Every structure is written in structure tokens, then in C-alpha cells.
Amino acid sequence: MIRSAGAAVTLLAIVLSACGFQSHRPIADGTYILLLDIPKDAGTSFLLTGSKTYHSSGQWDLPVSLRNTVRAIVNQYDLRVVDSWPLENIDELCLVVRLDAHTLAALKSDRRISAIQPVNHFDVMGSISYNDPQFVLQFGKQTKDLERLHEWATGENIKVGIIDTPVDLDHEDLRGQIISQQIFIKDNLDEKDQLHGTAVAGIIAANSNNGVGVVGFAPDVSLSSYAACYHRDSWQRSVCDTFALAKALAAAAEDDLDIVNLSLSGPEDPLLTRLISSLVDNSTIVVAADNPANPVKRFPASMAVVIAVTTPAEIHRFHPSAVRAPDEHLSTKPGNGYQFFYGTSMSAARVTALTSLMVSKQPVSYNEVRAKLVTLRQTCKERDDEDSICSMRFAVESDVLGMNAEI
């Protein structure tokens, strides 16, 4: 399947544009995803042009046989198509459609469709906490530990992707730190839409020695942003859906990343499970924020191949194998601001950064990374050390991460 820069209007483009959906609307309840296998035949291809339901659109050459199948399905069931997107790494064409109960039942028995599922919704796992500027004094010791950690590694040559809200690329402490940003959501974005992603990006890779702001835990990683989440109804609430996350995961797969951070959670999702598994199968480490407060919305941290991250306070709830990490961080805020944030989103970002430091010094597998991180957690517990910087300090002081030869 080849991306094309040419201009063309095709059947799907016409079907999609006729639906009347506007780009700023989130996908509503009652919307489903249909997956159709992309044939591997070498026959004549046609150009698929994505709709404007999401800000990011694209064009692909796909087999004519697939076009004919889509045409037949749309006409037979009188489908209302919201959007479409080829998922290249799993060889599926994704159609987003509105369905009533009768049509849904009929489609489930149609052999031309490889899978059908609802569009699920996901919440980012973090929010604003304190705005007292003196609160930073409580973390004075962390500064020395971070300096020591960066004597050993800073994440150089490691490619990290964050699938989150958009990032403020013009922030003084992130300028030049984000090598690319792809937008898979609405097109009328503002600072509220950038809040969560900007905080996560700052924890991982805020610039160092630039005379302003804060320092990321891995300031020299190559950080890419895949914006699939957006502000909904308050500064603290951002959401994502299956379709936007699927597009972001497919794009991340194309970029051959070392680590992907997912600071979000929601219900089990078959399509996203396939895409995340595909990433892991291709040696990408996936880190996700756990949601111990809601055991039915702990995906993707619930996947066995994902490094689940929780907070020190939640370590014994529902996910005993999760990696523990502090959840309070001063980080970057859109508009050259800084803010204290808390939540498992921030814990996951910290673990993603620490993982990038490990990988930059010695290539390790997912299982090795999780084993080392869990060992750090156990070391802290055995020493009865509950302060928030335990894991980072022992990462430097012990040989758990193989650092002794370097310090």
C-alpha cells in the first residue's frame, strides 16, 4: 500500500463528503468501526482520499477490488460513513459508520467484514494540581538525583512517541525538542487542547541548560507527538476515541519508534489491542498509565505486553505487577507557562523517560525493562523508603540498571 501525493476524488471521498459531518465534532455514541481486509493482489489501484472529519487526512493507493467491496457494502446497507483510514501495519481498511441495531446485527454476519466494534472513548490520566510556586521546594533533593542520572544518560538517539493531546511546539522549554507532530483530531485547537500533551512532553524531554523553566528526565530523546486526544469540557478533562487512537498508532508504527507513551485509559478495545501488539512485535516498548480507580477502564495498561504504570498510593489496587512511579510533577504548560500536574499520566511519562535512558545505554527488551523497573520498586519497598524520588535515586545508586560501570 503506497501513499500518494496526487489529487483525486474517489468513491469513498464522495461518500464521506456527502455525510455532512464537520471536522470539529467528536465521534458520537452509536458509531462503529468496520474493518475490511486490504487485498494483497497486484491489480489496478484507486486513490483513497480521507475525509475532513479529522484534521489529518491522507491519500493512499488501494486495490480496485477493495473499492468495489466498499461500494457494495455501503449501498447494500445504506451506510452513513463518517470517515475512513487504512491501517497499514495490520492490513485493514477502517470505516467509521453510524449504525442502528438492525443494521449492526446484519453486518455482524457479513463475511466481507473482518471485524466490527463500537468506537470507544478514553480519558487522559492526569490533571492540574497545585499552583503554589513554593511547592517546588519540597522536591529539592530530586534536583541532585536528576543531575546524577544525566551524568549517566540523557536519552540520546532514542526515538519516543507520545500519543496524547497536541503539544505546544512553541513553548520556550520544548522548542526544538519535538521532531514531528501529526494531528488526528479536530482542527480548531486552542491552549486547552494542548494542556495534557504539553505536560507529558515536558516531563519526558523539556530542554536542559537553556536558562529557562524545567528539565526533562530524558532531554536528549527524539520526541514525536501523535495528537489523538482533545479538550472536552474543562481544563482537567481531555478525551480520545478508538478511531483517532488507531490512526495515531498506525502512524507511530511507520516511524519505527523505540518507546511509545500512552497516558490514557479506557475500556478493552480489540482494534487498539491489535495495533499495540503489532508495535510490540516490532520491538517497540509501550508504556501506559493504569487506572486503578476504575477496573473496567484499565486498557491498554491491562495488556500483558504493555508496561503498566501506577502511583505509589495505588500500587496494591487491581494491578500488583504495575510499575510504581511518582505522580506529581512540575512541567510545561501551553503559552510558556509551568504548572504542577498529578496523576498516572505523569507517572507513565516518567517511566517512559527512565526507560529511554535504559535503552540508550544498552538495548533491552520489554520484559527486561519491566523486570528492572519492578526490581527498583521492590528495592524501595524493602528499604521502607516511600519518598517520591526513591526509584530514580536507586536507579543511579544501584546496579539494577547496569549503571555501576558508568558512574
Strand locations in 150-256 (E): 159-164, 178-183, 222-227, 229-234, 237-241
Query: Residue 212 above 60 pLDDT?
Result: yes
Lowest mean pLDDT: which of 198-202, 232-236, 369-373? 232-236
**69-110 pLDDT, tens digit each:** 999 999 999 998 888 888 888 989 999 999 999 999 999 999
Strands 92-98 and 115-118 come out as unpaired
Query: Mean pLDDT across the chain, nearest whole number?
Result: 77
The number of residues in the chain equals 407
Helix (H, G, I), strand (E, B) or coil at 243: helix
pLDDT of residue 134: 33
pTM: 0.82
14 to each of 50, 52, 63, 82, 390, how far by Cα in Å?
Answer: 10, 12, 18, 12, 57
- CATH architecture of structural domain 123-406: 3-Layer(aba) Sandwich (3.40)
Query: Residue 29 above 90 pLDDT?
Result: no
Q: Which residue has the higher pLDDT, 229 or 323?
A: 229
Q: What DSSP assignment string belongs to 100-116?
A: -HHHHHHHHT-TT-SEE
Max CA pair span of the chain: 68
Triad 318, 273, 88: Cα angle to 5°: 160
Residue 403 DSSP code: -
pLDDT of residue 150: 81
Q: pLDDT band for position 323 (50/70/90)? A: confident
CA dist 371 and 400 (Å) reads 10
Q: What is the mean pLDDT of residues 163-181?
A: 95
- Highest mean pLDDT among 19-23, 60-64, 142-146, 151-155 belongs to 151-155
Query: Residue 276 above 90 pLDDT?
Result: yes
pLDDT of residue 330: 85
272 to each of 33, 184, 233, 243, how far by Cα in Å?
Answer: 11, 15, 25, 9
Q: pLDDT band for position 48 (50/70/90)? A: low
Query: Residue 132 above 80 pLDDT?
Result: no
Helix H or strand E encompassing 195:
helix 191-205
- Closest by CA to 190, choosing from 220, 229, 231, is 231
Domains of the chain, by residue range, sit at 2-119, 123-406
Asked if 230 and 26 touch (Cβ cutoff 8 Å), the reply is yes
pLDDT of residue 204: 95
